Amino acid sequence: MPAIKSLRTVKLGALAAIVLLFVIIHLINPAFLPHICGLLARGDIQETAGYIASFGSGAIIFSFLLTLFVNALGFPPAIIFSTANTLIFGIFWGIVLSVVAETIGVAFSFILLRFFFRDAAEKIISRNKTLSNLDRYSGSRGFVVMLIARMVPYIPSVLLNAIGALSAMKFRDYVIASLVGKFPSTGIEAIIGHDAITHQEDPTRMIVVIILAVILIAGAWLYERHEQRKLAEK
């Protein structure tokens, strides 16, 4: 009982710290949060790119943090920011920046969701045999499932964040699967969005992304086989 109360206190403290962070940001610049909320709600890629670029030499840091935050939140669609990044920083660096920031963002989401809601999810799962079997499966094979899901463009990030965090999936598997899986999906989304806005088409870029994606997926597959062999030997 004391341990449960202590955990609740820690959770309330963490929640208070998050709220305090937003309060501090608002006090420093009252117009910032309303402007960002309006920007996110409109989802205008060119407006987003223009706003990020207005930060000058600090644009790359601001874009990284904004992309990270949006992916931790799971809304709006990441394509808005990955495309904006390619318009500002170029195709290659825009995709690299987006993939790294998105991966860190979903990792934060995983940590927060698991910290606040995994205990409640476990109670629900334990009462249902089907959910219990799925939970055990996610612990052993969740890497493959998350990898495939992350590779599919336009799947809502918030859904995958919740599935990963509330299941028995290992944090390490979740992060690696998200990083590898996000590269092809983010790359394809960003290139399509970039070409649609700039009216430029270069199939070579898409071919390069697909080749690199195949290499990454092959590496992830070898990693999964290695992990499964380790489990089998125990």
pLDDT reported for residue 100: 92
In a domain, 65, yes or no: yes
In a domain, 20, yes or no: no
Residue 43: which domain range? 31-233
Would you call 115 helix, strand, or coil by DSSP?
helix
> What pLDDT, in 10s, does the model give residues 50-66?
988 998 888 999 899 88
Return left, alpha or beta for 43; rule: phi > 0 is left, psi -120 to 50 is alpha, else beta: left
In a domain, 107, yes or no: yes
In a domain, 7, yes or no: no
In a domain, 18, yes or no: no
State the average pLDDT over residues 4-18: 58
The sign of the dihedral angle between the CA atoms of 222, 91, 93, 67 is negative
In a domain, 222, yes or no: yes
Q: How many domains would you assign to the chain?
A: 1
Q: Which two structure tokens, joined as six digits, stand for 43?
A: 């989802």
In a domain, 11, yes or no: no
pLDDT at 5 over 60: no
Q: Measuring CA to CA, which residue among 141, 157, 138 is closest to residue 149?
A: 157
> What pLDDT, in 10s, does the model give residues 146-187?
887 787 766 777 778 877 777 778 888 889 888 888 888 888
Q: Where are the alpha helices (DSSP H) in 127-170?
A: 129-151, 157-166
In a domain, 16, yes or no: no
- Lowest-confidence range among 26-40, 107-121, 130-144? 130-144
State pTM to two decimals: 0.75
pLDDT at 42 over 60: yes
d(CA 46, CA 26): 25
CB 162 within 8 A of CB 187: no
Q: How far is CA 180 from the centre of its chain?
A: 12
